[in-house]
Structure 1
């Protein structure tokens, strides 16, 4: 199989059969008492994307009307704004070996901040080698951030090196706690048991204590209300390459998913117990040939091929044509769970982005979720935030700075513009 650009997605019937989660269509009206969350995962193959991050994450183009004073309600559509915007990357900015010694992701962070502009504020980032996690909050609800934690776990060479592992950030948003985990698990089709061991090690050793004294579960994913675990999971399709190509040509995604290692392990409760995944309605996101055309190296804005049909599209994406001939697989995933009885995450969108430029052998995956949240109850908790006024050393301008203390760990929230200026 040489091209997937002409594939359509005839798997709606299959999606309806998946009953693990509450998967609903987008709606146009404002829904109250909800938080809308954007999750994105992208293995960047040790490179930086161009400044225009569309279609992975569209640039904010408007602000939804705030109809009820200080309560930041917004439409449950798949577009901006999101109350929380979370982006996890693997092999970010540099390749893995380089990142072990030079882990800074300052260029990537600045690019995110410049791209998102005034609509969002950067809450926290966590970096380990080539892994990076960034959490942004919509500027209308910064005051609801009460506390922040962050940690990482290495599962790489000898379980000590950060070439593989996970980075995590937890936040207390009003009275509701969230945990976001970005992981890069053991590679290669035959490393299934090692991947499972990676998952269990992360659950056991990610040192995020929760925000309540009663949160003492051994599994870190049992200490928070809503958990989103995503990244390059590296689980593969248990079929030979020729067979997979035939199913892809026939557009038979359902049969391929029946041989997906991650779905099999979750079905057997081997790993990710109580986690869910939205129905997959996209082709495998790995492994693609790398496109090394000079056109892809420019730093200017990139036309969105869907919104600009008159512009020549990128060459057709090709799955691995090297001697290794790797099996196309859904390595890039977003999982979620909740510990609140009767509450669940409602999936608005779960998709891949095949039309990004081919500088990586992966394609990014994004999801948009709605979770229950009582904004009226939260107003009382906002009094715990104490805004300070700081002076920028660069131009003596005032910076809005919010400081929250959790034990000896102090976290801060800066606007994207301030983050960029402070790093310049």
Structure 2
């Protein structure tokens, strides 16, 4: 930041995605998963300002109970409340789940919160595949967080591409100027995207390449990388290429690959920022980390996390986030604020 700029917001956001294979959290310790053990990758190793957690294949037994959160949300809430976080919002579509937690001090700067869902399973009739999202005005800027679970299996690339476009087309919000996902200033997309490797390498050969650290060679065959390059899917988003081993498919309870499937980077986190959308305002999202956590062996997927700085700077002018909100969202909020009920539940 220079002498001619003022900082409206400088946040650290921690994103996590994990396909838990219908398992319950039970007594699973979450400190390492949430980087509460001193390894957050945030500046000065501070705790994140905001957590956004996306999950796939959570058990659907709880879905019919509309009066109680999923056990995973309750487990995350219990862990994070010890560090003064509150739940902002959550959304579940069968086994697909997204939830957001924030430090108390940021609550007044979150407005116009909405959730959305898109079903893509069985031609859009079933929610075992699809996406859920949370969008909001965050310090005056439009931010959306999307968690998706796309079509599985090696031969289903076209279905994954179709799922992506169906989600983009069908996700619609009610806030003026931010009706669609890519209308937002900041977009974060995470989940079990299920992209596999092209070509005919055997599972044995892929595993051998992984064991010898030949990630760069394998990523040249990665469907998501190729689809972004060709513009077929996710081309509006950026991804820092993984430097960790493929996160699927493991033998549950171990760190050994189950070679019934070729190892693949199914679990991914991407982002997009429209840096210069407004006069005299600069937006940035610098990725600070991207990693898997091999410590967790609950399912056949490894959890993947990423940390981002979320920065809003005003050039040669001084804005409050309220003034920026009026500029970006209009003077009147169109969506009710859920925080009173949410905060009461944590007091």
Per the shorter chain, which TM-score range? 0.7 to 0.9
Q: What's 2:320 paired with?
A: 378
SS in 2 for 1:262: helix
C-alpha contact (below 8 Å) 2:172/2:181 kept by paired residues: no
Name 2:306's counterpart in structure 1: 367
**Do residues 319 (structure 1) and 257 (structure 2) align?**
yes
Asked whether 1:231 is paired with 2:231, we answer no
| Contact persistence 2:273–2:284 (CA under 8 A) | yes
Secondary structure of the corresponding residue to residue 309 of structure 2: strand
The alpha-carbon deviation at position 121 of structure 1 amounts to 1.4
In 2 relative to 1, CA 105–270 (structure 1 residues): closer, same or farther, beyond 3 Å?
Answer: same
1:54 equivalent in structure 2: 31
Distance 1:408 1:415 in 2: 16
Distance 1:195 1:380, change over 3 A: closer
Counterpart CA distance in 2 for 1:186 and 1:44 is 16
What's the counterpart of residue 76 of structure 1? 43
CA-to-aligned-CA distance 1:304-344 (integer Å, 9 cap, x gap): xxxxxxxxxxxx511114xxx10000000000001233744
DSSP-derived class of the 1:284 partner: coil
Could you tell me which residue of structure 2 aligns to residue 158 of structure 1?
123
Q: Is the 8 A contact 1:167 1:181 kept in 2?
A: yes
Whether 1:262 and 2:224 are equivalent positions in the alignment is yes
Match of 1:243 among 205, 208, 212: 205
Structure 2, unpaired ranges of 5+: 1-6, 277-281, 327-331
Map of 1:195 onto structure 2? 160
CA distance in 2: counterparts of 1:415 and 1:254, whole angstroms:
44
Structure-1 residue corresponding to 2:345: 419
Deviation of the 1:175 alpha carbon: 1.3
Aligned residues: 322
Contact 1:153/1:206 (CA < 8 Å) preserved in 2? yes
**Taking structure 2 as the reference length, what is the TM-score of the superposition?**
0.84
The answer to whether the 8 Å contact 1:275/1:337 transfers is yes
What is the TM-score normalised by the length of structure 1? 0.69
Q: Rg: which structure is higher?
A: 1
Aligned-residue Cα RMSD (Å) equals 2.8
The 3 A distance-change label for structure 1 pair 237 and 285 is same
Aligned to 1:400: none
2:57 paired residue number:
91
Instruction: Give the match for residue 279 of structure 2.
Output: none
2:72 aligns with 108
